[in-house]
Amino acid sequence: MQQSKYMKWFAVAATFGMLLILIGGALVTKTDSGMGCGRHWPGCNGSLIPTEITREVLIEFSHRAITGSVSFLILILSVWSWRKLGHVREVKLLAFLAMFFLVAQAFIGAAQVMWGQGDFILALHFGISLLSFAAVLLLTLIVFEVDKKFDADQVHILPKLKWHTIGVTLYSYIVVYTGALVRHTNSSLICPDWPLCNNKTIALPSNFYEWVQMGHRAAAGLIFIWILYIAIHTIKYYKNQRVLYWGWIIALLIVSLQVIAGMSVVLSRLNIYLALSHSLLIALLFGLLCYMILLVSRSNQNYPNA
pLDDT of residue 217: 96
pLDDT of residue 31: 87
C-alpha 220/C-alpha 274 separation (Å) is 16
Cβ partners under 8 Å of residue 36, min gap 6 = 28, 44, 54, 55, 56, 57, 58, 59, 60, 61
pLDDT of residue 1: 46
Neighbours of 76 (CB within 10 A): 13
Kindly name the residue from 52, 56, 60, 90 that is annotated as catalytic: 60
Cβ partners under 8 Å of residue 105, min gap 6 = 25, 125, 128, 129, 132
Exposure letters 234-251 (e unless 16+ CB within 10 A, then b): beeebeebebbbebbeeb
Neighbours of 48 (CB within 10 A): 8
Select from 140, 156, 152 the least CA-distant residue to 287. Answer: 140
Neighbours of 12 (CB within 10 A): 13
Radius of gyration for the chain, computed over Cα atoms and rounded to the nearest angstrom: 20
Is 216 known to sit in a ligand binding site?
Answer: yes
C-alpha 70/C-alpha 2 separation (Å) is 25
Is 278 known to sit in a ligand binding site?
Answer: yes
Cβ partners under 8 Å of residue 53, min gap 6 = none
Select from 99, 121, 95, 98 the least CA-distant residue to 108. Answer: 121
60 given a catalytic annotation: yes
Number of H-type helices and E-type strands within the chain: 9, 0
C-alpha 81/C-alpha 142 separation (Å) is 9
Cβ partners under 8 Å of residue 240, min gap 6 = none
DSSP 90: T
pLDDT of residue 218: 96
Dmax over Cα atoms in the chain, in whole Å? 64
Averaged over successive runs of 10 residues, the pLDDT of the chain (306 residues) comes to: 75 94 89 83 80 88 90 92 88 92 84 72 83 94 78 85 97 94 89 91 90 96 98 95 94 97 92 92 96 92 70
